[in-house]
Structure 1
Amino acid sequence: MNILVAVLAALMSAGCFGVASVVQQYAASKAPREESLRLRLLLDLARQPLWLAGMALTVFSYIMQGLALAFGPLVLVQPVAATDLAFALPLLAWRRSERLTRPELTGIACTAGGVAAFVTVLPPASAGTPVAPLQDWIPVLLIVAGTVTLLVAAGVRSSGRWRTGLYAAAAASMFALLDSLTKGTSGRLRTDGPDALVHWEPYALLGVGITGLVLSQSSFQAGSLAISLPLIDTIEPIGGVLIGIVVFDERLASSTGALLTQAFGALVAVVGIVLLARSPLARDLKSSPQPSTGPDDAG
């Protein structure tokens, strides 16, 4: 492990994903409702340069997260990567020539401080094993598949905020699995080299990634980031940490005091994420000023 590389790469991933989510939510909110949960949604969004720019940031974010997971455990990388809104809101404020409000600054401080408290007390021997056998994966795969199926079924029968939240929870569950498969694929590459391609993890990673992308864009399409992003930023790291413990034998803090510190840090971070998501900068993306597109806009 190289903790410094893992933390820096995870922070880079968080920043890129936060900005990408803002851009993609604005683009997806304009897509026809009947394309929700379909690959056609991605095909139509791919015609929008703004969405493609967000997709490029998403891909780079994923590469950075893969790098972080190659050098650090899920229990370290996932909480750090959940700080995306702490990066996105200052950029949005700068773009709109606004100052961050006290609740927004409090949210950034809570998110950063809570995550810092969580990872600071991780034991040195938290890394676990880089590769896990298939039998350890099967219960996790079944639980995630069942959870996502139920959430999507409920979302289809709902509307408004509920649909947005249910789709976001489903997307977050898939992202937690995606992060874990990225960890497994990175471990395969480091131990087996090119022979990693004969194992199942890289191919499962591709299918889970596409499914998670469709679900996240459907959530962005259905409603505000103030609903979807807090759920993603909460469920994804919790799910990733749990999978890291169950599948990769990673470890949280070993003492009662350190465990309480981690629980408190996680709670503070969630409060920070909620405060950030309630910001007008996150809620009012559909009314964000757009850049000039031609000479007719000048007058």
Structure 2
Amino acid sequence: MPPTVLAIALALLSALATAFGMVLRHAAAEAPDHGESGAHAAIKSIFDWRWLGGTISSLVGFALQAAALNFGSLLMVQPITVLSLMFTLPLASRFSDRPATRTEWVWATVLTACVGALVVYGRPIEGAEHPAWWEWAIAVAAGLLVMGALGKIARQELRRDRAMLLGVAGGIAFAYVAVFAKGLVTRINSGGLLGVVTSGEVYGLVAAAVLALTVQQASFASGNINQAAPASTVTTPVVSIALGLFLLGERFSVSGWELVIIAAIITAMAAATVFLSRAAET
């Protein structure tokens, strides 16, 4: 099987596992005995069996994502993870009394179309796999600053949009999970176990995964999954694309004015996320 096809297939399986994990963990967060919202509800939800099942499913999604990144670039694999939204909507309807609306399906379809256009039209190309430590430091510091700002705004100013804002913060953390995983799989291929243990990427991956799952769980405890999930799911590939371009040196095959189309597609993905989150409030 060609590497590109294998990367796409594994990314789709990752999207399915991720969607199932999100739905289960959200069901745990909104259980009747978790009356509070935010951090307290997120902490209580970890004692629910659905949280454990959802976390295992999410970890399987991480593993499948790492496997996909072994055969394809971040610019190819990460946009495909947006398709987890198409799995999340019916699964969320199954585990709750609120079916997905026609408007939500329309915007989810727009996201899916954008993903297909980005991968097919952009034709991503691999870049460097192991940036210098100072490049990692700058990238991680920037991500933490943005996440901290989003957390503060969600806490103090925009209570109505808390689930979406925390979802965006979680999505940023998941993007770093993907970047660390990309470096890790190449370490495994070239240096074996010793190369993995002696690299900083494995420790960065663990820290980013814990942070991502924690923040995402807080977003689930703060509102409807159809607000939190789109924000997290679409932020991840957008930030991954930025990291792939500026940190790893990956690029799209197109150039010149065609890059305007790529930018328009990414903008449409972000806009559809906002509209999908708004639709979930009604």
**Normalization by structure 1: what TM-score?**
0.81
Cα drift, residue 16 of structure 1: 1.8
Counterpart in 1 of 2:232? Answer: 232
Counterpart in 1 of 2:23? Answer: 22
Question: What's the secondary structure of 1:103's corresponding residue?
Answer: helix
Q: Is the 8 A contact 1:113 1:269 kept in 2?
A: no
Q: Is the 8 A contact 1:171 1:212 kept in 2?
A: yes
Residues 150-203 of structure 1: CA distance to partner in whole angstroms, max 9, x if unpaired? 222333324632332332222122111111111111121122111221111101
Q: Return closer, same or farther for 1:230/1:260 CA change in 2, 3 Å cut-off.
A: same
Cα drift, residue 19 of structure 1: 2.4
Aligned mates of 1:19, 1:283 — CA distance in 2: 22
Aligned mates of 2:99, 2:222 — CA distance in 1: 28
Residue identity in the other structure for 1:153: K
Counterpart in 1 of 2:243? Answer: 243
Aligned mates of 1:87, 1:137 — CA distance in 2: 33
Counterpart in 1 of 2:187? Answer: 188
Residues 21-73 of structure 1: CA distance to partner in whole angstroms, max 9, x if unpaired? 1221121134364871x8x945x433211222211211111111111111111
Residues 206-234 of structure 1: CA distance to partner in whole angstroms, max 9, x if unpaired? 11211111111111111122322222122
Q: Is the 8 A contact 2:164 2:277 kept in 1?
A: no
Q: Is the 8 A contact 1:27 1:45 kept in 2?
A: yes
Residue identity in the other structure for 2:187: R
Counterpart in 1 of 2:198? Answer: 198
Aligned mates of 2:228, 2:8 — CA distance in 1: 25
Q: Which runs of no fewer than 5 residues in structure 2 stay unpaired?
A: none
Aligned mates of 1:89, 1:64 — CA distance in 2: 21
Q: Is the 8 A contact 1:118 1:261 kept in 2?
A: no
Q: Which runs of no fewer than 5 residues in structure 1 stay unpaired?
A: 285-299
Residues 236-287 of structure 1: CA distance to partner in whole angstroms, max 9, x if unpaired? 11111111111211002432353233234334444554565556xx669xxx
Counterpart in 1 of 2:213? Answer: 213
> Is 1:8 the equivalent of 2:19?
no
Of 135-144 and 106-115, more deviation after overlay is shown by 106-115
Q: Return closer, same or farther for 1:154/1:207 CA change in 2, 3 Å cut-off.
A: same
Question: What's the secondary structure of 1:71's corresponding residue?
Answer: coil
Aligned mates of 1:137, 1:3 — CA distance in 2: 27
Mapping for residues 216-295 of structure 1, pairs under 5 Å: 216-270=216-270, 272-274=272-274, 277=277
Q: Is the 8 A contact 2:245 2:251 kept in 1?
A: yes
Aligned mates of 2:148, 2:115 — CA distance in 1: 30
Q: Return closer, same or farther for 1:121/1:13 CA change in 2, 3 Å cut-off.
A: same
> Is 1:131 the equivalent of 2:130?
yes
Aligned mates of 1:154, 1:274 — CA distance in 2: 17
Aligned mates of 2:155, 2:94 — CA distance in 1: 37
Aligned mates of 1:23, 1:99 — CA distance in 2: 16
Aligned mates of 1:91, 1:25 — CA distance in 2: 11
Q: Is the 8 A contact 2:238 2:266 kept in 1?
A: no
Q: Return closer, same or farther for 1:161/1:242 CA change in 2, 3 Å cut-off.
A: same
Q: Return closer, same or farther for 1:8/1:258 CA change in 2, 3 Å cut-off.
A: farther
Cα drift, residue 87 of structure 1: 1.4
Aligned mates of 2:270, 2:208 — CA distance in 1: 25
Q: Is the 8 A contact 2:37 2:222 kept in 1?
A: no
Q: Return closer, same or farther for 1:64/1:145 CA change in 2, 3 Å cut-off.
A: same
Aligned mates of 1:253, 1:263 — CA distance in 2: 14
Counterpart in 2 of 1:296? Answer: none
Counterpart in 2 of 1:295? Answer: none
Larger C-alpha radius of gyration, 1 or 2?
1
Cα drift, residue 14 of structure 1: 1.2
Aligned mates of 1:48, 1:98 — CA distance in 2: 21
> Is 1:171 the equivalent of 2:170?
yes
Q: Return closer, same or farther for 1:274/1:53 CA change in 2, 3 Å cut-off.
A: same
Q: Return closer, same or farther for 1:221/1:159 CA change in 2, 3 Å cut-off.
A: farther
Q: Return closer, same or farther for 1:144/1:105 CA change in 2, 3 Å cut-off.
A: closer
